[in-house]
Amino acid sequence: MPEVYDKMQRGYSYEYMAKPGQDFAKDFTPELTPKEMLVLGVFEGHYLTDCRQEFPQDWFENARLSEDKPCASCNCFQIKSRMSLQEWQQRGWILEPDPRGWFQWYCRYYMGRRLDKIDSIQIKRWKAFKRHKAQVYINCAPYDLNCRIKQRQALVQWAYNPFF
């Protein structure tokens, strides 16, 4: 049972209800694992940098991270492509008990935590994001990775494969 002590959360603990990477909801089929997302570069490398104790150490071995501050060059497509945490909070996108948002939820879900109500909301949000993959597919030549790079970076950040 992980017990969380990081900059944004202290004393939170949860149980694993499934084995890591298994028993996902039928309608939740992410194309990237959290480890793959970190290796590709997400959230300008400044995400989960203080949470390494909570997650497997191998997730961070080749991750593109920036300890001090967000760094756009750490992103897969080397562009700024995120809103601030304050913006997410104002829009109501931060759900307890995951003060960092969707990716933190996904990491915990991947590890085996299950929270029916929260899982349902986050999976619905993930499914809605698929429209961005469709836009890239419709508007870009195959494998033109310079086309719609902000959307492609966002796809990485929502566990969709941007390389098509």
Of all residues in the chain, the percent with pLDDT exceeding 90 is 79
- Per-residue pLDDT of 55-76, as tens digits, reads 999 999 999 999 889 899 999 9
Average pLDDT, integer, range 117-135: 97
In the chain, where the domains are located = 28-157
Assigned token pair, 141: 């030549």
Find out whether 139 and 147 touch, Cβ atoms under 8 Å.
yes
* pLDDT over 80 at 106, yes or no: yes
* pLDDT for the residue numbered 92: 84
Q: How confident is the model at residue 91 (pLDDT cuts 50, 70, 90)?
A: confident
Nearest to 153, CA basis, from 67, 64, 88: 64
Q: How confident is the model at residue 1 (pLDDT cuts 50, 70, 90)?
A: confident
| Chain centroid, CA 68 distance in Å | 19
pTM of the model: 0.94
Q: Where are the beta strands (DSSP E) in the chain?
A: 3-5, 10-13
* pLDDT for the residue numbered 2: 87
Nearest to 144, CA basis, from 81, 77, 78, 93: 77
- Per-residue pLDDT of 5-26, as tens digits, reads 888 999 999 999 999 999 999 9
Average pLDDT, integer, range 27-41: 97
Give the C-alpha separation, 40 to 62, whole Å.
9
Q: Cα–Cα–Cα angle for 67, 71, 77, nearest 5°?
A: 130
